[in-house]
Amino acid sequence: MPELPEVETVRRMLAGAIPGRRVARARVSRKRLRTTSLASLPERLVGRTFASPRRTGKFLLLDLDGGVTLLSHLGMSGRWLYWRPGWNPDEALDHVHLKLVFEDCATLWFQDVRRFGMLRVVETAKLGKDASLRLLGPDPLAVPRDGAALRSAARGARTSIKTWLLDQRRIAGLGNIYASEVLFRARIDPRRRAGALAAEEWSRVATEIPAVLEESIARMGTTFSSYRTIWNEPGQYGEELLVYDRNGEPCRNCGTPVRRIVQNGRSTFFCPSCQRREGSSRQRRGARAPARRVQRQRSRRLSNH
Partner DNA sequence: AAACATTCCTGCACGC
Partner DNA sequence: TGCGTGCAGGAATGTT
Q: Which residues belong to the active site?
A: 2-3, 58, 266
Q: How much of the chain is in helix, strand and coil states, percent to nearest 5?
A: 35, 20, 45
Q: How many other C-beta atoms are found inside a 10 Å radius of the C-beta of residue 145?
A: 14
What is the spatial distance between Cα 18 and Cα 100, in angstroms, rounded to a whole number? Answer: 11
Residue number, 1 or 182, with CB nearest to DNA: 1
Among 46, 93, 113, 211, which residue sits at the site for DNA (rule: CB under 7 A)?
Answer: 113
Among 226, 232, 236, 253, which residue sits at the site for DNA (rule: CB under 7 A)?
Answer: 226
Residue number, 64 or 165, with CB nearest to DNA: 165
Q: What is the b/e burial string over 152-173, where b = at least 16 CB atoms within 10 angstroms of the residue's CB?
A: ebbeebebbbbbbbbbbebbbb
Q: Which stretch binds DNA (CB under 7 A): 40-48, 121-129, 155-163, 202-210?
A: 155-163
Among 166, 197, 241, 271, which residue sits at the site for DNA (rule: CB under 7 A)?
Answer: 166
Look up residue 111 and give its amino acid. Q
Among 25, 126, 129, 158, which residue sits at the site for DNA (rule: CB under 7 A)?
Answer: 158
Min separation Cβ 40 and DNA, Å: 19
Q: How far is CA 192 from the centre of its chain?
A: 22
Give, as one character, the DSSP assignment of residue 130. Answer: -
Rounded to whole angstroms, what are the CA distances from 5 to 158, 208, 294?
28, 14, 37
Interface with DNA, residue 116, by CB under 7 A: yes
Interface with DNA, residue 197, by CB under 7 A: no
- Interface residue list for DNA (CB under 7 A): 1-3, 34, 57-58, 73, 75-77, 94, 113-116, 131-132, 157-160, 163, 166, 168, 175-177, 194-195, 224-227, 260, 262, 264-267, 293, 296, 303-304
